Structure 1
Amino acid sequence: MNFGQVLTAMVTPFDHHGDIDFDATRTLVNDLIANGSDGLVVAGTTGESPTLTDTEKLDLFRFTAQVADGRVPVIAGTGSNNTRASIELTKQAAQTGVDAIMLTTPYYNKPSQEGLYQHYRAVAQATSLPVMLYNIPGRSAVGIAPETIIRLAEISNIVSVKEASANLDAMTKIISKTPDDFTLYSGDDNLTLPVLAIGGTGIVSVSAHVIGNDIQEMVQSFTSGNVQRAAAIHQEILPVMKAMFAQPSPAPVKAALNMTGISVGDVRLPMLPLSSDEKRQLSQILPPHKVKLHSTERFSPLNNEEQRLNSQHPVATPL
Structure 2
Amino acid sequence: MAIEWRGVMPAVTTKFTSDDQLDLKTFELNINAQLDAGVHGIVLGGTLGEASTLSNEEKSELTQTTVNIVNDNVPVLINIAAQTTKSAIAAAKKAEQDGAKGLMMLPPMRYKADGKETVAYFKAVADNTSLPIMVYNNPVDYGIEVTLNMFEELLSCDNIEAVKESTRDISNVTRIKNAFGDRLKIMTGVDTLALESLLMGADGWIAGLVCAFPKETVAIYELQKAGKIQEAIEIYRWFLPLLELDINSKLVQNIKLAEVATGIGTENVRAPRLPLIGEERSKVLQIIEEGLKNRPSLPNYKSL
TM-score of the pair, normalised by structure 1: 0.86
The structure with more helix, counted as a fraction of residues: 2
CA deviation string 1:286-315 (max 9, x = no partner):
232699xxxxxxxxxxxxxxxxxxxxxxxx
Partner residue in 2 for 1:140: 142
Deviation at 1:247, TM superposition (A): 4.7
Identity of aligned residues (%): 27
Q: Which residue of 2 aligns with 1:257?
A: 259
Counterpart for residue 49 of structure 1: 51
Report the Cα distance in structure 2 between the residues aligned to 1:246 and 1:281, rounded to whole angstroms.
13
Q: Does 1:165 align with 2:142?
A: no
- C-alpha distance in 2 between matches for 1:146 and 1:167: 13
- Please state whether the residue corresponding to 1:133 is helix, strand or coil: strand
1:19 to 15, 18, 21: 21
Q: More deviation in 70-79 or 147-156? A: 147-156
Q: Deviations over 1:237-282 (max 9, x none)?
A: 1111013344522110011112222233422122222114333333
Per the alignment, residue 226 of structure 2 pairs with 224
| Superposition RMSD in Å | 1.9
| Aligned-partner Cα distance in 2 for 1:79–1:243 | 23
Letter in 1 for 2:257: A
Kindly state the Cα deviation for residue 127 of structure 1 after the two structures are TM-superposed.
Answer: 0.4
Aligned residues: 291
CA contact (8 A) 1:260 1:290 kept: no
Q: Cα 1:67–1:288, aligned 2, differ >3 Å: closer, same or farther?
A: same
d(CA) in 2 for partners of 1:212, 1:23: 18
User: Which ranges in structure 2 are unaligned for 5 or more consecutive residues?
Assistant: 296-304
SS of alignment partner, residue 266 of structure 2? coil
Distance 2:294 2:112 in 1: 42
Cα 1:205–1:166 change in 2 (3 A) is: same
TM-superposed CA distance for 1:285, in Å, is 2.2
**Where does 1:75-94 land on structure 2 (aligned, <5 Å)?**
75-94=77-96
Looking at structure 1, the residues matched to 195 and 164 of structure 2 have their Cα atoms a distance apart, in angstroms, of 15
CA distance in 2, matches of 1:112, 1:249: 28
Q: Closer, same or farther in 2 for the Cα pair 1:264/1:151, shift >3 Å? A: farther
Equivalent position amino acid for 2:15 in 1: P
> CA separation of 1:162/1:105 partners in 2, compared to 1, >3 Å: closer, same or farther?
same
Structure 1 SS opposite 2:213: helix
- What is aligned with 1:59? 61
Q: Which runs of 5+ in 1 are unaligned?
A: 292-319
Runs of 4 or more, structure 1, over 4 Å off, are none
- Is residue 12–residue 264 contact of structure 1 (8 Å, CA) maintained in 2? no
Equivalent position SS for 2:202: coil
Taking structure 2 as the reference length, the TM-score comes to: 0.90
| 8 Å CA contact retained: 2:81, 2:109 | no
Distance 1:86 1:148, change over 3 A: same
